[in-house]
Every structure is written in C-alpha cells, then in structure tokens.
Amino acid sequence: MNRFVLGVFVLGLVGCGGGATVTTRPPRSRPFLRHPLRRRTRLAAACGTPLPPFANSNGYGIKVQLEPSKRLKILNASPQIRSADYCAAAGIGGVICNTRLEDQPQRVPCDHYLSGMSETGRPGPNWFQEIDGRRLRCGGFGVPFEAPDCALKDTNQYLLDVSGPGKYVACGGTGSPGTCGSCVLDENVFGVVHPSPAGLCRLSGD
C-alpha cells in the first residue's frame, strides 16, 4: 500500500469514528455564546443612539400579554431604563421607559443588548417562580423544570407560560446588568379570561 492510499485510509478511519477524538462545534442554537463581545458590538450598532446605559437599568416591566385559557396566562417582560434624559432621547418621555417605542425596529436589538443571554442560549431574561424566598427556574430549552407553575415559550425568551398564582421574576442574563423585575399573580385572577389582562400583575407588597 503506497503512502497516498495509506493516508486516505487513515483519514477515512478518523471520519468514520475509528477511535479518534473528533471535536464538534457547539449547537447552532447558541451561536453568540462563543463571541459575547462581538455579539454586544453588533447589538449596540443595531440599537443605535441612545444606547441603553447599564447604570440606569431598572429591571423588567412585566405584564400579562395574553390569556389563552382560564388557567393559562402568558407574561411578557420588557427591560426598563430609569433616566428622564434617556427616555426623552428615545422619544418616549417619563422617568422610566422601555428601550424604544414598540413599533421601532431598534426595539429588539436594544432589548437584547440590555437583557444579555439567558441560560437557554437565547437573548432575553432568565425566568423564575419565587416560592418561600427561593427562586426556582422556569424550565425549557435545556433549563431544568424546577418551578411548578411556569414554562418558557418556544417562540420568545421574553414570554412565559404561567398556570398558577405566585411571584414570577425575570432577571437579565449573561452580559447584562443583572437587574430583575417581578409580577405577582393572585389566585382570584385565575379561572376567568379578562377583557384587558395587562394590569393583572402586581408588585410585591402591593
């Protein structure tokens, strides 16, 4: 067997798992985890000016987005900025505001920039249900199901399925300021579909 044929034979063994260790790339569902600085730079460019300042991160505003049934509610978390100057520059006004207006194309990259990367490898917050002072992870997409009444949505990391009363918390992921927001849902808001569910969340102590 000449050296050329022997080389082809050895390569064939490696390619077919013939005892050699083959290094594979991470799953494509988590492409930005390998290059967090590059990701942040791209998001900052897409967000534009004003760029949400980490120092003024005010956690998340959480509301009930939809009620598909009497026992299921979908929460929606939006990263917030506490800065009258920023809110004015973003054309929203007020002291606390979203990163951009809802219909602006910069809204998504600005939200991603401020939220960082969740445990799932998707941009957006990590979700928890708080029980007896402990934050249990809402599961899905590789995250264990620790909490009994919540699950991550397959369409969007900013959304959460909730099937029972309790305190639900959204916190920024890797590369974010790490600030959080919460929504408390009482038992009496379940068992009915509301005409306007957005105001069902209350803050702790309300």
Structural domain count, the chain: 1
* Whole-angstrom distance, CA of residue 115 vs CA of residue 178: 8
Check whether 57 has a pLDDT greater than 50.
Answer: yes
Residue 11 lies in a domain: no
Q: So what's the pLDDT on residue 204?
A: 77
Among candidates 99, 95, 83, which has minimal Cα distance to 47?
99
Residue 206 lies in a domain: no
Residue 182 lies in a domain: yes
Q: pLDDT above 90 covers what percent of the chain?
A: 80
Contact (Cβ atoms closer than 8 angstroms) between residue 44 and residue 54: no
Among candidates 108, 46, 118, 54, which has minimal Cα distance to 81?
54
Helices 36-47, 107-115: axis angle to 10 degrees equals: 140
Span 117-153, pLDDT tens digits: 999 999 999 999 999 999 999 999 999 999 999 999 9
Residue 6 lies in a domain: no
Residue 22 lies in a domain: no
Residue 4 lies in a domain: no
Q: How many residues does the chain have?
A: 206
Q: What is the mean pLDDT of the chain?
A: 86
Residue 19 lies in a domain: no
Check whether 205 has a pLDDT greater than 70.
Answer: no
Other residues' Cβ atoms within 10 Å of the Cβ of residue 100: 21
Q: So what's the pLDDT on residue 35?
A: 72
* Whole-angstrom distance, CA of residue 170 vs CA of residue 196: 22
Q: So what's the pLDDT on residue 36?
A: 78
Distance set, CA 166 to CA 117, 133, 188 (Å)? 25, 12, 11
Residue 9 lies in a domain: no
Q: What is the pTM of this model?
A: 0.82
Span 143-199, pLDDT tens digits: 999 999 999 999 999 999 999 999 999 999 999 999 999 999 999 999 999 999 999
Q: So what's the pLDDT on residue 183?
A: 98
**Domain span holding position 71:** 37-199
Span 24-28, average pLDDT: 34
DSSP letters for 11-60? HHHHHTTSS-----PPPTTSGGGG-HHHHHHHHHHHH-SSPPPGGGEEEE
Burial class for 196, CB neighbours closer than 10 Å (0-12, 13-18, 19+)? exposed
